[in-house]
Amino acid sequence: MLTDPFQRLGLDREVLTVSQLNQRARSLLEDVFPQIWVEGELSNIAKPASGHVYFTLKDPNAQVRCAIFRQQASRVRELLRDGLLVRVRGRVSLYEGRGDYQMILDSVEAAGDGALRLAFEALKAVLQAEGLFAAERKRALPKYPQRIGVITSPSGAVLHDIVSVFARRAPHVQLTLIPSAVQGREATAQIVHAISLADSAQYDAIIVARGGGSLEDLWCFNEEAVARAIAECQTPIVSAIGHETDVSISDFVADVRAPTPSAAAELLAPDRHELLQQLRNTQHQLTLRINTQLQRQHTQLQHLRQRLRHPRERLQQHSQRLDDLSLRLERAVRGTVQQQQQSCTHLDARLYVQHPREHLAQQQQHLLGLQQRLVRASQLSLKQAQLSLHSVLQTLQVVSPLATLERGYSILSSDDQQQIIRSVQSVQPAQTLKARLADGYLTVQVQAITQA
């Protein structure tokens, strides 16, 4: 094998194997292109289980195979999407097994529209998660607007298109331009300010419009500040940004998206010919209803006129009615007075029977009888108590110890009278005792003890 891949072949026409050829080609490529940056569009991305990533990098005229190994691929795996414009860094090499020319990469980053599309998708995901795209928060457009604010560049063709549509379809609608840049660094702040001004002016609706352009040209309508200004606006907003195929964050947040500025104007400009036809139809229906109502009222008037009578006749009827009621009232009063008199007489008789004097006399007689019964009952009860007491005294006298003492017995106790002597075993010779007799006490001393 030659040590120098650039060494010329010998004059004797050296013959190489395929492996030798590929080895020399790989060495040549890696020496000439050790580290380069290449920009292109991603396609044919493959992510096998090994963790390596393979894809094709292309432009309109050519393509090159690329490989990024697992350690570097883990940092950019989420970035790799078909159709994304990227800028890659790596060395040019050759896969000897197939003889394929390729790039071995160590870095991948979004480039041009690719970076913008990544930012677009990231902001879209955040705002969607917050509910700013939800259908329930979108307001309906007014059916017959009178005042509309238009936010766009005063020098573009967009304003002319919108004005032309309203002049043709609804010339009565008042259009007000809120001028703003729609491209460049200052556009975002100016659009946000214009939306705030238009919302405070209380228009029936607002149109935010711009003509077509590249993603970079339309980028101010993908800024978060513009999206949140549209979401916070209380006035219904129609977003008409770019051509029909262009989609912006503002389109998602706005209440209605129109494919073009002219389409936005047609959404808000009621066709005057249709309105005139509706007006004619309404006028015709109103005329029919008025004529029908007039005819009904005329018929009712004729009927009432036939029923109408002279006031004198009505007065005579009321006078007769008054006389009749007067007589009925007189009879009713007289009957009521008689009933009240009879009721009063009846109540007077009942009251006399219930006079308190008679009742008091009866109660006094009853009280006297109770007093006599109480005296007799008390005397009887006292006599019975006396007899019962005498009987108890006799019984007590029979069983009383005093009666026993009167028959000649005595009661022995200790000298301090705390213990009754019942047995000879409870005394000692020479012990002093107390003896109770019927008429007093004796102090005695034990001389001798003899058991029975």
12 — pLDDT class (breaks 50, 70, 90): low
Task: Judge whether residue 2 has pLDDT over 50.
Answer: no
Domain residue extents for the chain = 18-111, 147-274, 405-445
Give burial (CB, 10 Å; 0-12/13-18/19+) of 444: middle
- Report how far residue 347's alpha carbon sits from residue 343's, in angstroms, rounded to the nearest whole number: 6
Condensed to tens digits (0 to 9), the pLDDT of residues 25-41 reads 888 887 888 888 888 88
Task: Judge whether residue 11 has pLDDT over 50.
Answer: no
Mean pLDDT of the chain: 83
C-alpha to C-alpha distances, 152 to 55, 164, 171, 242, nearest whole angstrom: 42, 15, 20, 12
4 — pLDDT class (breaks 50, 70, 90): low
Helix 224-232 × helix 187-200 angle, to 10°: 0
Helix 113-129 × helix 224-232 angle, to 10°: 30
Helix 261-268 × helix 157-169 angle, to 10°: 30
Q: Which residue has the higher pLDDT, 217 or 132?
A: 132
At CB < 8 A and 24+ separation, what contacts does 79-82 make? 79/108, 79/109, 79/110, 79/118, 80/42, 80/45, 80/47, 80/53, 80/55, 80/108, 81/42, 81/45, 82/42, 82/43, 82/44, 82/45
Q: Which of 165, 218, 157 is nearest to 191 (CA)?
A: 218
Task: Judge whether residue 327 has pLDDT over 50.
Answer: yes
403 — pLDDT class (breaks 50, 70, 90): confident
Question: What would the DSSP string read from start to end of 61-100?
Answer: S-EEEEEE-HHHHHHHGGG--TT-EEEEEEEEEEETTTTE
Residues above pLDDT 90, as percent of the chain: 11
pLDDT of 147 reads: 93
Q: Which of 134, 86, 91 is nearest to 112 (CA)?
A: 86
- What is the model's pTM? 0.44
Residue range 195-220: mean pLDDT, rounded: 86
- For domain 18-111, is the CATH number 2.40.50.140? yes
pLDDT of 1 reads: 44
CATH of 147-274, one of 3.40.50.1980, 3.40.50.1100, 3.40.50.720, 3.40.50.261: 3.40.50.261
Task: Judge whether residue 63 has pLDDT over 50.
Answer: yes
115 — pLDDT class (breaks 50, 70, 90): low
Residue with the two structure tokens 């003889």: 99
pLDDT of 196 reads: 92
pLDDT of 236 reads: 93
Condensed to tens digits (0 to 9), the pLDDT of residues 151-188 reads 998 887 889 989 999 988 888 889 999 999 888 888 88
Q: Which residue has the higher pLDDT, 194 or 249?
A: 194
Residues of the chain by 3-state class (helix, strand, coil), percent to 5: 50, 20, 30
Task: Judge whether residue 333 has pLDDT over 50.
Answer: yes
pLDDT of 237 reads: 93
- Report how far residue 297's alpha carbon sits from residue 279's, in angstroms, rounded to the nearest whole number: 26
Residue range 418-432: mean pLDDT, rounded: 84
